[in-house]
Amino acid sequence: MSGGDDNTTRGGGGSTSVRPARLRGPIEFVGRTAELAQLRRLVEAPPCLVLLEGEPGIGKSRLVTELLATLDGPHLVGECDDVPEPFPFGVLLEAIRAGADRLGPVDTLNPVAGALAPLLPELADALPAAPPPLADPAAERHRLLRAAAAVLTALSPATLLLEDLHWADPATCEFLGYLSARPVDGLAVLLTARTPPPGGSTPIHDVLSRTPRAVTRVPLGPLDADDVRRLAARTLRLDEPSPRLTATLLDRTAGIPFVVEEVLRTLAERGGDPLADDSVPFVLQDVLLWRLRPLDDATREVLGAAAVLGRAPDQRVLAAALAADRTTVGAALAAAHRAGVLHDDGEGLRFRHDLARQIVYHLVPRETREWLHLRVARVLEQELPRPVAQLAHHYRLAGSGADFVRNAEAAADLATERGDDATAADFLLQTMDVAELPRPVRARLAGKLGRSAIDGLSQATAIPVLERLLADRRLPPGTRGELGLVLGRMLRQQGEALRGYTEIERAVPYLRAPRRRAPALAVLAAPDTVVGRHVDDHLARYTEAEAAAVASRDPAAHLAVRIARASLLLELGDPGAWAIVEELRCSADLVDRPREHARACLNWAQGALHAGHLARATALLADGRELVEETGYQRLASLVEATELSLDRAAGRFDGLAERLSRLVVSAERMPVTLIDARADLATVLARTATGDDEVRAADGALRLVVTDARRVGAIWPLVQALSALARLVLRGRPDEAVRHATEALTLVRAKGILAWAADAVVVLAEAAALAGDPGRAAEAVAELEAGIAGRDAPLALAALRRCRELVPA
C-alpha cells in the first residue's frame, strides 16, 4: 500500500479517527493464499490450462497480477474487449505480439506458422511465408489452430495469460479447446472469465466444458471476515479493527474485493468515524458519488463521455465527440485521476474496473447517454477501416436502429469473410430485435442468419428469436426454409429430438436449392432419433435426398447423403451396409473432409453398437477419436466419450463405469444432444449392477426419469432401451409391470419398423411368460421378432432370439 506518511491511527474496539490520505496504486494484497499457491503450483508445472473464474470485482485480475510477479520466465498477456471487432484470435494475437521479439529465426519455425502471417502483418518478416489458401473452410480453420499452436511452441517456455475470456471471439474459444487436447510443452495457459449466470453459459465455458479432464478450474469467492479485517487494518492504519467495523464492511460490500478496496480507499481519504452511518458506504455507487463530488460540471461531462466510450477511453475520440480541445479533455481526465475515479495503468488513464465505469455510465441521464453514443459513432465513422462492431454498439445504444443494422450487417459480413460464422450469426441475431426493420431487410438479414453457423450462439437466446421469425407468415419461402433448418438443428442439439425433426420436415419444402435440401433430407433419413416415423418414411427421405444431391452437383451434399445411407442401412441390419462404409472411408471426398469423416465414424460406431458388432464399433470409435484429436473438433469430444462408455456397457465392462458415466452426464449439461443417451446408459448400468434394495431403487428411479424425458422429447432409441431395462429390473418382483413396460417398448419398435431394436423387450416377455408357466403367451412376440430379423445382420437380436426359443419353442 502506498500513501502519505502523516496518517495517525488508533486500534481497538471503539470509534477511530482517521486522517485523510490519498492512496495511490493497488491496496496491499490480502487473502487468496490457497488460490495463489494452487495457481503457482499449476503454472510452474506446464503444460497446463487453468480457468480462474468468479463474479465481476472478485479479484481475478489482481490475483493473476500477484502471481505473475512471483514467476520467472516470459509472460504473454492479452485482454479481451467487451466490444471487439470481428477479427479471429484477437486476444491471442495480442499476446503473441507481446512476445514476438522472442521468436527465433524464421527457418526454425514450423512452416504451418505462416498461416498466421495474414492476421499478423506486422510480424510478416518473423513468420514463414503464408501457405496458399485451402478450399475447405473447416480445413482452413484447423490450419490456423495448428499455426497458433506452432507459434506458441516457438515462444515456450512461457506463461500465456488471457483475460476476460467471457468476451472472447469464437475462434479463440475453439483454439483453447484445441490446445486443451494438444498442450504445448512448456506453456502454462491461464485464463480468467466471469462465472456464467445461473442457467446461462458463454462460448468459452461451452468449449471448456467439453474437455473437462484437461482444464483445471479455480473458482474465486468473496473475502471472508478475517481477510476484510486485515485489509481494513492495513488500509486504515489500525492496530486491530473492531469486530463491528469488520462485520459492517463485510455486510455492506458482500466481501467483493474491488468494492472492499474502494470503500476502504474512501474511508482512508475522507477520514472521520468509520462506523458512522454516513462513513461506510452501502454500495460502490456511494463511493463514486463521494469521489465525484469535488469535480466541476465540465469534468463530470468529460468523465461521463469517457464511460460511454469504454473502460480505456481514447482522448482523441473524446475530444472530437465533445467538440472540445484535447488539452481540456486531458485536464478533466487528470482531475478524475486525482479524485480516484480513474487510474494510470502505464498505458494511459482508465477506469479501475468495469464496475466503476458502469456506475459512472448510469449516472449520466439516459437522453445524454444516447446523444453521447451518437456523437462517438459519428466520430468513429471517419476512421479507416471503419470499426463496424464499435459502430454497431454505439448506434444501438444511441437508439439509431437503421445505423445499427447497417453496421451490424457489415460486421457480420466481415466475420463471414474471415470464416467466423458464429460471430456473424451473433450480430445478425441482434438485428432481429429492431422493431422498425423493414420486412425486406428483415428477410435478407434472416436469410444470412440462416446461412451462418450458429453453434457458437447462446441457443436459449436464439431459439425463441427464430421461432418468432418463423411465425411471420409473410416470410419469404427461401428464408423460411433456411431458418427452419437452423431451428431444427438447434433443437436437436438441445436434445429436443422430435421438435427438431419436425422443424426440419417443415423446412424442406421451402429449401429451393438442391444443395441445401439434400443434407436436410439426409438428417430426416436417420431412424434412431424420433418416435412416430416408420422406417419406410426414412427410406423415402433418403430417396429424396439422393435425388436432390444428384441435382445439386455438389460433392458436399452428395457426401452427406451417402453417409446417411450407410447409417440407415446399418440400423436396418442390411448385410451390404459394411461394404458401403468401407467404400466411403476410402473415398477422397470423405478423407479430404476430416470433420465429416469423424462425425461419420462416430455415427457408424453407434450403428454397429445397436446391431451388436462390438469389434467394428471399437475400430470406428478409435478412428473417430483420432480424427477429432487431429482436427481439434472439440464439439464431438463428448460424443466420443459417450460412444466409448456405451461400448463398455455393451461389452459388460462395468468396473468404474457408473462413475465415468456420472461425470459424463454432468459435463453433458452443456451438450444436451448426448445427455439422454448418457443418462440411459448410466441407468442401465445401475440396473445391471444393482444388488441391494437401495441400489435397485436408485436404478428404478433413474430408468423412470430417462423414460419420462425420452417420451417428452420423442427420442426413440433411449426410450426403448430404458423401457426394456426397466422391464428386466422389475421382472422378478412385479412381472405384470415388467410385461407392461416391455410391451410398450415393442409397440414403439413396431411403429418404427426395425424389430431388432425390440430384442431385449421380447426376451423379457418370454421370461415373464415362462415364469407364469404359460410360455405360449409370448409366442406371437417371439415369432414377430424372428420374422423381423430374418436375413438381417443383427448379432444382438439373433442372440436374443436364441434365448427366446429356449423359453418359447416354435
Give tens-digit pLDDT for 748-807. Answer: 999 999 999 999 999 999 999 999 999 899 999 999 999 999 999 999 999 999 999 999
User: E strand or H helix at 618, and its extent?
Assistant: helix 614-631
Q: Is the pLDDT of residue 471 over 60?
A: yes
CB atoms < 10 A from the CB of 41, how many? 10
Can you tell me the distance from the alpha carbon of 173 to that of 202, in angstroms, rounded to the nearest whole number?
10
Q: Is the pLDDT of residue 610 over 50?
A: yes
Coil, strand or helix at 715: coil
- Give whole-number Cα distances, 280 to 252, 339, 355, 470, in Å: 8, 18, 19, 54
Distance in angstroms between the alpha carbons of the first and the last residue of the chain: 90
Mean pLDDT of the chain: 89
Can you tell me the distance from the alpha carbon of 717 to that of 724, in angstroms, rounded to the nearest whole number?
11
Residue 312: name the closest of 269, 277, 281, 344 by CA.
344
Q: Lay out the sheet containing 158-163: strands in order across.
A: 75-79, 158-163, 187-194, 48-54, 216-219
Quickly state the pLDDT bin for 273 (edges 50, 70, 90): low
Can you tell me the distance from the alpha carbon of 102 to that of 156, in angstroms, rounded to the nearest whole number?
9
Query: How much is the pLDDT for 6?
Result: 33
Residue 288: name the closest of 306, 301, 300 by CA.
300
Give yes or no for a contact between 207 and 634, defined as CB atoms under 8 angstroms apart: yes
User: E strand or H helix at 50, and its extent?
Assistant: strand 48-54
Quickly state the pLDDT bin for 141 (edges 50, 70, 90): confident
Q: Is the pLDDT of residue 578 over 80?
A: yes
Give yes or no for a contact between 119 and 92, defined as CB atoms under 8 angstroms apart: no
What angle separates helix 535-552 from helix 514-524, to the nearest 10 degrees? 160
Q: Under 8 Å CB-to-CB from 213, ≥6 apart: which residues?
A: none
Query: Do the bridges between strand 342-344 and strand 158-163 make them parallel or antiparallel, or are there none, so unpaired?
Result: unpaired
User: E strand or H helix at 304, and its extent?
Assistant: helix 297-309
Q: Is the pLDDT of residue 574 over 50?
A: yes
Is the previous residue joined to 527 through a cis bond, with omega within 30 degrees of 0?
A: no
Query: How much is the pLDDT for 9?
Result: 35
Coil, strand or helix at 73: coil
Q: Is the pLDDT of residue 15 over 50?
A: no
Give yes or no for a contact between 236 and 16, defined as CB atoms under 8 angstroms apart: yes
Please report, as a single letter, which amino acid is at residue 395: Y
Can you tell me the distance from the alpha carbon of 687 to that of 33, in angstroms, rounded to the nearest whole number?
45
Displacement of CA 796 from its chain's centroid (Å): 37
Give yes or no for a contact between 458 and 490, defined as CB atoms under 8 angstroms apart: no
CB atoms < 10 A from the CB of 528, how many? 23
- Give whole-number Cα distances, 532 to 312, 437, 625, 713, in Å: 57, 39, 32, 12
Give yes or no for a contact between 364 and 307, defined as CB atoms under 8 angstroms apart: yes
CA atoms within 13 A on the CB side of 673: 20
Can you tell me the distance from the alpha carbon of 593 to that of 613, in angstroms, rounded to the nearest whole number?
26
CA atoms within 13 A on the CB side of 506: 17
Q: Which residue has the cell 437380436?
A: 797
For 477-613, where are the alpha helices, taking DSSP H only?
A: 477-493, 497-507, 514-524, 535-552, 555-572, 577-585, 588-591, 594-611
* 434 Rama sector, left if φ>0, alpha if ψ -120 to 50, beta otherwise: beta
Query: How much is the pLDDT for 24?
Result: 43
Each residue of 54-89: pLDDT tens digit?
A: 999 899 999 999 999 999 889 999 999 888 788 889
* Residue percentage of the chain with pLDDT more than 70: 92
Query: How much is the pLDDT for 16?
Result: 43
Residue 646: name the closest of 672, 628, 620 by CA.
620
Can you tell me the distance from the alpha carbon of 357 to that of 308, in angstroms, rounded to the nearest whole number?
8
Can you tell me the distance from the alpha carbon of 687 to that of 695, in angstroms, rounded to the nearest whole number?
8
Query: How much is the pLDDT for 18?
Result: 41
